[in-house]
Structure 1
Amino acid sequence: MAPEAPAPIETGQTTSSDGTTIGWHRLGTGPAIVVVHGALATGEQFLPVAHALADEYTLFLVDRRGRPLSGDAEKHDLATEVADVQAVLAVAGPGATLFGHSYGGIVSAATAAAGADISALVLYEPPLPVGGPLPETALADIAAAVDSGDNDRALTIFLSDVIHAPDAALADLRQTPMWAEWAALAPVWLRELRVTTALVGDLDRFTAIRNRTLLLLGGASPQHQIDATGFLAEHVPDTTLVEFPGQEHFAHVSEPAAVADAIRSFLRRG
């Protein structure tokens, strides 16, 4: 028997409250899952997970503002991106599941805390600054590199001084297509780092989440990701934790079937 053809992919757009166009890839049939990617990504990074879920769910893979399918505006803060996600949820319909990864997890958590009409929340390592602000020197160095047009250096500083990726991992990443893609987005994710570090005094907002929540965690992820996930597990009343042994922050890329299975199992239990 021939393997099933991948679900066809459509693109669509809506308009956020400030007039910015927000686009997405859509595939699959069934209840909606709106996927909000992280800083070093576009919606396409989640296509492998989406294809694994498309037989049972309709996936909206959002391109957050500043990415290819979406527009942008000079003003940017967390409230702006929450409004973007709410605009996509309005298209997806009431009772969608919201799935956010990394910085997209912060946006998704803030959207849920603001009372969005969703049936469930999935968060994969949103980097809440529970241990304090991001290193100011590193942020200043990244900004200087971006201002000088050296996005490669900006990415190197981010991964080494903020994420604390080992030198061997940096060397490996430089040999992949992801490196150039991530570097090109440096001006966009720099502002997202600033939003993240500004949340140090505003973490209580995330304790307002009342949705049934799945927390995803890489078994080999760094301590700051473990601590942020632990904060949510402690303060959000209805959470389920799934850990991916041996994986870190990008199991949706390295083990998409495992991530899809975790989401499917969680949603079916609901």
Structure 2
Amino acid sequence: MLDGARSTTPERCTFGVDEVTVQYDDRTALDEVSCALEPGVTVLLGRNGAGKSTLCRVLASAEQPTRGRVLGPEGPVTDLRSHRARVGWLPQTPPVAAHMRAGDYLDYAAWLKGISRRDRPRAVAEALERTGLGARRGSRIGTLSGGMVRRLGIAQAIVHRPSLLVLDEPTVGLDPEQRVQFYATLRGALDADTVTLLSTHLLEDVGELAERVLVLDAGRMRFAGALETFLATVPASPDGDGRIRRAFMAQLTDEGAA
């Protein structure tokens, strides 16, 4: 039964997971996790080791759950190839080759996503422009800054105009200026109907991007709902970031402590 913790299922649910469990030997990374996603940006919060990356991999079909179901617009996902064609996936450490030129890298990503030879030049050009990298098409990836490499990661994830975009810790390691640029890039790159899940442990990402919030702790879903509902779990204060922090801490348990 799809029922996120302390939430109701969104009317426009298009992707999600239903009672997903992932086990590694004697460790449970996800414990009967359910959530429903909808168009817009959902930020997945959690401490290190909470299960965020595992959930991202399951949604992107980069990993199969031990039990439970991944859901798509038509119901439970049974055709992994079809599902992957609708997903844009940016892992925590993007697999990039420093010697490749940015345009060639995106052309290869477009080929992997099944875009035809005829349509690839347009798809690559659009992805570069939407991420502010149009002028760096001929640059070798090894010469790009860390922020540009993250933007190139977004470009490869959106080159095929995915229905579901999964970003795993995309702002880790970026300095404050690079994070501001990243937020602007992501806003400009998304289509209005794109379902986006962004995992993070940086509370700043919530205030900048979130329309909805998920909180994972110790492999279990502790909260799933709108940003306003998340903030309403603690008293109001003039300090916006402080309220986000207090709302997040209110969802955590001693079980998930390091």
TM-score normalised per structure 2: 0.30
Q: Which structure has the highest helix share of the two?
A: 1
More strand by share: 2
TM-score, with length taken from structure 1 = 0.29
